[in-house]
Chain A
Amino acid sequence: MKAPAFDYVKPASVDEALGYLKQYGSGAQVLAGGQSLMAVLNLGLAMPEVLVDITGISGLKDIVVHPDSVRIGALVTHATLQASADVAKYLPLLWQSVPHVAHLAIRNVGTLGGSMALADPAAEYPAVALALKAVITLQGPKGQRQVAADDYFRGLYDTARAEDELLVAVTFPKVKNNQVMVFDELTRRRGDYALCGLAAAFDLQGGKISAARLAYLSMGDTPVLARAAAEALGGKAPTEDTIAAAQAALAQDLAPRGDLHGSAKGKLHWAKVLLARSIRQVGKNV
Chain B
Amino acid sequence: MSDKRRPISVMVNAERIERPVLVRQHLVDFLREELDLTGSHLGCEHGVCGACQVMVDGQVVRGCLTLAVQTDGKQVQTIEGLSDSGELAPLQEAFFKHNALQCGFCSSGMLITALNIVRHHPDSTREEIRDHISGNFCRCTGYQAIVDAIESVLVKNRATEILGASL
Interface set of A (CB-CB < 8 Å, partner B): 1-8, 34-35, 38-39, 41-43, 49, 51, 53, 55, 79, 102-106, 108-109, 189-191
- With a cutoff of 8 Å between Cβ atoms, the chain B residues found around residue A1 in the complex are 45
Taking a contact as CB atoms under 8 Å apart, the answer to whether A190 and B47 are in contact is no
Q: List 29 A-B contacts (CB under 8 A).
A: A2-B24, A2-B29, A4-B24, A5-B3, A5-B24, A8-B4, A8-B69, A34-B65, A34-B66, A35-B47, A35-B62, A38-B46, A38-B47, A38-B65, A42-B46, A49-B1, A102-B135, A103-B135, A104-B113, A104-B116, A105-B53, A105-B62, A105-B135, A106-B135, A108-B59, A109-B65, A189-B134, A190-B131, A191-B134
9 nearest A-B residue pairs (beta carbon)? A103-B135, A39-B46, A8-B23, A38-B65, A190-B134, A3-B24, A5-B1, A108-B59, A105-B60
Chain B interface secondary structure, helix, strand, loop or mixed?
A: mixed
Partner of A108, one of B29, B60, B69, B70: B60
Task: Find residues 1-56 in chain B having any chain A CB closer than 8 Å to their own CB.
Answer: 1-4, 6, 23-24, 26, 29, 45-47, 50, 53
CB distance from A186 to the nearest CB of B (A): 16
Find chain B residues with CB under 8 A from A102 CB.
47, 135
- Contacting pair B67 A103 (CB below 8 A): no
Q: Select from chain B the residue with minimum beta-carbon distance to A108.
A: B59
A71 to chain B, nearest CB (A): 24
Residue of A nearest to B120 (CB): A104
Contact B1 A7, beta carbon cutoff 8 Å: yes
Footprint of A on B, CB under 8 Å? 1-4, 6, 23-24, 26, 29, 45-47, 50, 53, 59-62, 64-67, 69-70, 113, 116, 131-132, 134-136
Minimal Cβ-Cβ distance residue in B for A2? B24
Q: Which residues of B contact A189 (CB under 8 A)?
A: 134
Residue from B50, B65, B70, B132 having most chain A Cβ neighbours under 10 A? B65
Q: A35-B62, A53-B70, A105-B60 are in contact. Are A7 and B46 (CB under 8 A)?
A: no
A246→B159 CA distance, assembly (Å) = 52
Cα A190 to Cα B50 in complex, Å, equals: 14
Q: How far is the CB of A120 from chain B (nearest CB, A)?
A: 14
A34 nearest in chain B by CB position: B65
Chain B hits for A4, CB < 8 A: 1, 24
Task: Give chain A nearest CB distance to B112 CB in angstroms.
Answer: 9
**Which chain B residue has the least Cβ–Cβ distance from A5?**
B1
Q: How far, in Å, is B21 (CB) from chain A's closest CB?
A: 10
The interface residues of chain A lying within 8 Å CB-to-CB of B46 are: 38-39, 42-43
Task: For A108, list chain B residues within 8 Å (CB).
Answer: 59-61
Given the contacts A38-B67, A43-B46, A191-B135, A104 and B24 also touching, CB distance less than 8 Å: no
CA distance A274 to B20 in the complex (A): 51
- B4's contact among A5, A42, A79, by CB below 8 Å, is which? A5
Question: Within 8 Å CB of B136, what residues of A?
Answer: 103
CB pair A103–B134 under 8 Å, yes or no, is: yes
Interchain CB contact under 8 A, A105 and B23: no
Task: Collect the chain A residues with CB atoms within 8 Å of residue B116's CB.
Answer: 104
Complex contact B47–A7 (CB within 8 A):
no
In the docked arrangement, what's the CA distance between A38 and B47, Å? 9
